[in-house]
Structure 1
Amino acid sequence: MKLNMFKRSMIYATFFGSCLCIALVVAALGTWHWVDATARGLRNPTVSEARISFGLFEGYKELTVGVGWRHRHLSIKTGTLPARRWAWCGTAAQLVVALAASGGACVLAALGAAARARCSPKPLLVCNCLTVLFTLGALAVWLTEFFLRLQHNVMSEEDLALSWSSDMTADLGFSFWLVVTACITAFVNNVCILIAMSDGRDVDTSAPALEEKVNGAIMLY
C-alpha cells in the first residue's frame, strides 16, 4: 500500500513542527529571560533602582543608588541565581527530555514522509505526546516556583539586608513563552498526525499492476 499525498503532506508538516520545537526549547534553555524584574531600595526609593533578568543557568543584575550602575552576574555555579535548585533542575531536566522527544519526532517524520510503503504513525504520535507532556511539566514546575517565591523576591540576602525589595514586580520573560510556543507546536503536530491516521484513503498500486499484466496477456493471445 502506498501513502496518498494528503497523508504524506500531513506527516511531513510535523517534521517542520518538530524542528521548530527543537529550536524553541534550545533557545529557552540558553536565554536569560525566564524572569524579568525590577526592584527599589526602600531607604531611598527615589534614586535607587535595580533590573534583574535570569534564565535557568545564568542571569544578570544591575543596581544603582544614583551614582552609577553596578553590574553583577548571576549563576547556578556561584549559588547567586534567585531560583531554588529544585525548580531549575526540574525545569531543565524536563526540557532536555522534551528536546530528545522532539528530535525523535523529527527523525520519524522525515522517515515516514519519505517511505514509499505505509508505516504506522503511532511512534511519531508518541514522541510528540512526550514533547507536550514534558514541556507542560517544565512550565508547571517553573510557574510553581514563580508564584510561590520569585514574584515576591528575586534579591539576594545581601540586598535584602540593604532594604532592597522586588515584591510583585517580577514578570515571566520571553524565554518562558518560548516553551509555551513549543508545547503548542507539538500539540498541533499531534492534531496533524491524528488527521492523517483518520484518513483511510490509501493508493493501492497492486491492482493496477495486476490489471496491466492481464491486459498484456490478452493482447498476446
Structure 2
Amino acid sequence: MNFKKRSLIFVTFFMSCLAIALLGAALGTEHWLEATCRRMGDFSDKSNGTVNFGLFRGSRHLNSGLGDRHYTMNMLQILFRDRNFMIYNLYIATIALLCSGILFGVLSALLAIINTAYNPSEAICHIPGLYLTNGLGGLSALAAFITWMVQFYLRLTHNALIREDREKGKWNSEGMAIYGYSFWLTVLATVAFIINILIILFTTRNPREMKKVTKKQEMMRLSGKQAGDTMLY
C-alpha cells in the first residue's frame, strides 16, 4: 500500500474516534427525550413543565403556578418502581447496542493504526477486518437508533412522566414529547462508520486490477465461444 492509501486509511482512525465520542456522549447525556407537560384540573392555565432524560439520568422542571420546582431522575430506579414507564427489553437493548458500537469503534481505530503502520497478512487484521469492525459498529449504532424509535412511539410519545407526577400531580405529557439531541448523536455515529467504509472502499479500489479482471473475463468468454463454435463444426 502506498503512502496516499495509508494516509486515507489513517483518516478512518479519526472517524472511528469521532464515532466513539458520539456514542459515548449519547450514552452519558440526558437528552434522549425532551417533553413539555401540562397539569390537568385546577390552575391548569398557569401550569407548565418540561421533562428531559437520557438512558441513566434526567430532570423534571414542574411549575404548578406557584414557582418552578426542579427534580432529578434516576432512570434505573424509575424502571424498577414502574415497569410500564418504558419497555424494559428495548431500554436494555439500546444501552447494549451503544456499548457494542463503542467496542467496534475502538477495534476499527486500532486496525486503522495497524494498517497505517504495517501491512498485516492476516485477513482479520487487514482490509476485511476494517470492513467488519466498521460495518458492525455502524449496524450497532443504527440498531440503537431503531430501538429508541420503537420505544418512543410505543411508550414515550404517550407518557414521559413518572407515576407520582401522573397520579398525584395530575400532569400530562401525551403528544408533547420529541427526540433530544442525544438520540441524534447515534445517527451521526452511524454516518461516521459509513464514511469509514466508503474511504476503505475507495482506498482498496484498484482501476488497473479491475481492467485486468475485465480483460481476463472477456478472454475467457471469447475462448469459450470459440470452443463452442468448434464443437458445432
TM-score by length of 1: 0.84
SS at match of 2:37: strand
Relative to structure 1, the CA distance from residue 73 to residue 84 in structure 2 (aligned partners, 3 Å threshold; closer, same or farther) is farther
Q: How does 1:139-154 map to 2 (within 5 A)?
A: 139-154=145-160
SS at match of 1:67: coil
Instruction: Render the CA deviation track for 1:161-214: whole Å, top value 9, x for unaligned.
Output: 232111111110010111110000000100111111212679xxxxxxxxxxxx
Q: Tell me, yes or no, if structure 1 residue 64 matches structure 2 residue 70.
A: no
Amino acid corresponding to residue 107 of structure 1 in structure 2? L
Q: Which runs of 5+ in 2 are unaligned?
A: 210-233
Q: Cα RMSD over matched residues?
A: 1.9
Amino acid corresponding to residue 83 of structure 1 in structure 2? M
Aligned residue number for residue 78 of structure 2: 79
> Retained in 2: the 8 A contact 1:7–1:199?
no
> Retained in 1: the 8 A contact 2:34–2:178?
yes
TM-score by length of 2: 0.80
Aligned residue number for residue 143 of structure 2: 137
Instruction: Render the CA deviation track for 1:39-82: whole Å, top value 9, x for unaligned.
Output: 00121321111110000011011111111122211113322685
Work out the CA distance in 1 between the residues paired with 2:72 and 2:193. 34
Q: How does 1:78-117 map to 2 (within 5 A)?
A: 78-79=77-78, 82-115=85-118
Work out the CA distance in 2 between the residues paired with 1:136 and 1:116. 31
Aligned residue number for residue 230 of structure 2: none
Aligned residue number for residue 28 of structure 1: 26
Work out the CA distance in 2 between the residues paired with 1:163 and 1:51. 14
Amino acid corresponding to residue 204 of structure 2 in structure 1? M
Aligned residue number for residue 195 of structure 1: 202
Q: How many residue pairs are counted as aligned between the two chains?
A: 200
Work out the CA distance in 1 between the residues paired with 2:157 and 2:52. 13
Work out the CA distance in 2 between the residues paired with 1:184 and 1:88. 23
Aligned residue number for residue 224 of structure 2: none
Work out the CA distance in 2 between the residues paired with 1:134 and 1:163. 38
Kindly state the Cα deviation for residue 116 of structure 1 after the two structures are TM-superposed.
5.6
Work out the CA distance in 1 between the residues paired with 2:195 and 2:114. 19
> Retained in 2: the 8 A contact 1:39–1:51?
yes
